[in-house]
Structure 1
Amino acid sequence: MVVVSSLPPPTEGVRVQEPSTAAHLGNKPLGPGTLYIAESRVSWTGAEGQGFSLEYPHIMLHAVSRDTSNFPHPCLYMMVDADIDPQDGPADGGADSSDEDAASGSSVTEVRFVPEDEAALDRMFHAMSECQSLHPDPNDSVSAEGDDFEGDDCDEGPDDAGGGLANGGGDADTHQPMETGQFDDVDE
């Protein structure tokens, strides 16, 4: 669920509370406020009472971005599986994103948090990683017995148990690196 309102910040399980953090939804700056990274959700509240709250299952990606060629400030970058408009809420006009929109991946919003103290970025990222791990994606099913691969489709020999990728990439028998660019996107 993505909520855009005058929602109070979380009070339990707060891992990071970072004041003087500017929020940007897409290309729209919302101004300075306080970022809360809690075990249950990520929330940001601005000076005028506006704010938003993101639940971890809707955060598709989070990273620290120090590349200022696309955005002028180092930031904690997130991709959220909802179209968020800070004035109206999500694009469907309701208080939260629909599960159908989230499942189809029909809308994505880029969210950036710019702390006044750039040194806080790594701390924010690590707190996000820890909290997001508390909310695993239910669609990523891993067998409880650990036998994720069954049948003849898995070609795993005694020398490359775990595959070459776990060992730094490439072929485990010859220890050759993978070919550069072999997974680049094809121009459409």
Structure 2
Amino acid sequence: MASVAVPSGLSGHSVQLPDRFLPQLVNTGQPSWLPGEVHVVPDDFFLYFLLEQGLAIRYGVGVGRKGLYQPGKFTVARKAKWPWWRPTNAMIRREPHKYARYSDGMKGGPNNPLGARALYLYDDNGRDTYLRIHGTNAPETIGSAVSNGCARLTNDHVKDLYERVAVGARVYLYPKVTTA
């Protein structure tokens, strides 16, 4: 197998992530995980992008907070650089003080909650689930369950992942085992 470049730098923000959340080349020990797939293990706060022979690049992620994380099997139906964002109607209802002002959306850029890149997850019927794998302008949230359901990486790490994941890739969001 050819060597794989794994990003290590965290330029662009001043938060120092714990070493375990930096991208690492790992052997998954999961023979059923196939090259090109994405697997999110929420209790460990890891996202795996599968390479060949059981190897993967493991990234640290933040995931959905209690009651908002949705496990399942999805497909990356589209990708965007510096994506436009609008909170879902459910987000606006839950926290109008925080999200109502964005009901017309927000253009992409460094202050956008989706960060530098987004992978849009669709169900098997071709419908947008409103779940995303995206960057974040809050890198200190990596390793925690605070989002509205999406998986988030640092902007540097999502840029790397974005280049590796193809439209049509399968994404597996595993159920949470712990209730914290």
Provide TM-score, normalisation by structure 2. 0.31
Provide TM-score, normalisation by structure 1. 0.30
Query: Larger Cα Rg: Structure 1 or Structure 2?
Result: 1
Of the two structures, which has the highest relative contact order with CA contacts closer than 8 Å and spacing of 6 or more?
2
